[in-house]
């Protein structure tokens, strides 16, 4: 009986730990320049690929509360940013997700190759790296609970 209880306890703890490491969920993005919350991105997996869409924007008082991607040059041109998919089709590679042309910066309309991974020391921190060649920038997104 004690062995069965111990086994169940270990199983529950391992399930809890693996869930907390999951990349799926809602993440708060932070503006690099101001340090203020910028948006909430909901990340999901569909057909084995990773996607992320903006579900909320934190807009400064007096600014457009429902802006469009006027700088985009692809199919997202002049579309609403809220509800827009900005992470597209990343594939799993070990503990990371990556892909060419995988992330859009709707403020600039720029598309970058992308690599995303949950921080190994803090499961509530997501490392999001956009890059072109060897030039990159990594942002830290925070899990929304």
With 60 as the cut, is the pLDDT of residue 20 above it?
Answer: no
pTM, whole model, 2 decimals? 0.83
With 70 as the cut, is the pLDDT of residue 17 above it?
Answer: no
Domain-embedded: residue 13: no
Domain-embedded: residue 6: no
Domain-embedded: residue 15: no
Task: Give per-residue pLDDT as tens, 90-145.
Answer: 999 999 999 999 999 999 999 999 999 999 999 999 999 999 999 999 999 999 99
* Predicted local distance difference test score (pLDDT) of residue 4: 42
Please count the structural domains in the chain.
1
Q: Which of 92, 86, 91, 93 is nearest to 112 (CA)?
A: 86
* Predicted local distance difference test score (pLDDT) of residue 2: 53
Domain-embedded: residue 5: no
Domain-embedded: residue 1: no
For residue 115, give the CATH number of its domain. 2.40.128.520
Q: Which of 116, 88, 118 is nearest to 104 (CA)?
A: 88
pLDDT top residue among 8 and 142: 142
Beta strand 25-30 with 135-143 is antiparallel
* Predicted local distance difference test score (pLDDT) of residue 33: 85
* Domain carrying residue 108: 23-143
With 60 as the cut, is the pLDDT of residue 1 above it?
Answer: no
């Amino acid at each position: 009986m004690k062995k069965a209880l111990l086994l169940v306890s270990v199983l529950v703890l391992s399930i809890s730990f693996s869930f907390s490491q999951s990349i799926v969920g809602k993440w708060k993005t932070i503006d690099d320049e101001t340090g203020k919350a910028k948006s909430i991105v909901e990340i999901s997996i569909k057909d084995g690929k990773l996607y992320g869409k903006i579900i909320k924007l934190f807009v400064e008082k007096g600014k457009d509360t429902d802006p469009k991607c006027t700088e985009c040059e692809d199919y997202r041109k002049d579309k609403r940013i809220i509800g827009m998919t900005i992470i597209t089709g990343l594939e799993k590679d070990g503990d990371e997700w990556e892909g060419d042309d995988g992330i859009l910066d709707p403020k600039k309309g720029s598309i970058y190759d992308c690599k995303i991974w949950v921080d190994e020391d803090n499961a509530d921190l997501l490392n999001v790296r956009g890059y072109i060649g060897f030039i990159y920038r990594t942002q830290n997104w925070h899990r929304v609970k």
